[in-house]
Amino acid sequence: MTKLLDKPFKAFTIYALIILLVSIPVYFLVVDWIWVTEIDDHHEIAMDRIEGSFKEAYLSGQELETILNSWNMLQPNSSIVPLKGTIASPDSVYEVTKYNSYEQESDRFRGLQKVIQIDGQAYLLNIETNVEEAYETVFAIGFVTVVLYGLLVFGFIQLNRKISKAVWKPFDQTLSKLKSFDLSTNKEVIFEPTDIEEFEELNTTISRLIAENVSAYNQQKAFVANASHELQTPIALLKSKLDLLLQDEKLNATQSELVNAIQIPLARLTRVNKNLLLLARIENSIYSDVEEMDFSEKVGNSEELLQDYIAEKMLIFKKIGSSICHFQCSKFLAETLVNNLLSNAIRHTPHNGEIIVEWGNSGFSFQNSGKEALSQDSLFKRFSISTTETTNSGLGLAIVKEICKQNSWEVSYSFADSFHNFSIDIQKF
Q: Which residues bind other proteins (CB under 8 A)?
A: 229, 232-233, 235-241, 243-244, 246-247, 251, 253-254, 256-257, 259-260, 263-264, 267-268, 270-271, 274, 277, 281, 286-287, 289, 305-306, 308-309, 311-312, 330-332, 339, 343, 346-347, 389-391, 393, 396
Alpha carbon distance 146, 276 (integer Å): 70
Q: Of 22 and 264, which has the nearer Cβ to other proteins?
A: 264
Q: Of 108 and 239, which has the nearer Cβ to other proteins?
A: 239
- Provide the H-helix boundaries in 247-379: 253-283, 295-312, 331-348, 376-379
Q: Of 203 and 228, which has the nearer Cβ to other proteins?
A: 228
Minimum distance from residue 263 beta carbon to other proteins (Å) = 5
367 to each of 138, 297, 334, how far by Cα in Å? Answer: 76, 18, 18
Minimum distance from residue 301 beta carbon to other proteins (Å) = 11
- Which helix (H) or strand (E) element contains residue 179? helix 169-179
Minimum distance from residue 286 beta carbon to other proteins (Å) = 7
Q: Of 170 and 396, which has the nearer Cβ to other proteins?
A: 396
Q: Of 23 and 343, which has the nearer Cβ to other proteins?
A: 343
Nearest of 68, 70, 73 to residue 125 by alpha carbon:
68
Alpha carbon distance 169, 187 (integer Å): 23
* Dihedral (CA of 140, 141, 142, 145) sign: positive
Minimum distance from residue 361 beta carbon to other proteins (Å) = 27
Q: Of 177 and 274, which has the nearer Cβ to other proteins?
A: 274
Q: Which residues, listed in sequence order, are joined to residue 360 by a DSSP beta bridge?
A: 363
- Cβ(303)–Cβ(343) below 8 Å: no
Minimum distance from residue 275 beta carbon to other proteins (Å) = 10
Q: Of 27 and 287, which has the nearer Cβ to other proteins?
A: 287
Minimum distance from residue 298 beta carbon to other proteins (Å) = 14
83 to each of 121, 263, 366, 411, how far by Cα in Å? Answer: 8, 135, 115, 107
Pairing of the two strands 354-360 and 316-321: parallel
Nearest of 327, 210, 336 to residue 281 by alpha carbon:
336
Q: Of 177 and 281, which has the nearer Cβ to other proteins?
A: 281
Alpha carbon distance 165, 159 (integer Å): 10
Minimum distance from residue 343 beta carbon to other proteins (Å) = 5
Minimum distance from residue 229 beta carbon to other proteins (Å) = 8
Phi, psi of 309 (to 5 degrees): -75, -30
Q: Of 129 and 368, which has the nearer Cβ to other proteins?
A: 368
Torsion angle in degrees (nearest 10) through CA of 33, 36, 38, 43: -160
Minimum distance from residue 388 beta carbon to other proteins (Å) = 12
Longest dimension (CA), the chain: 165
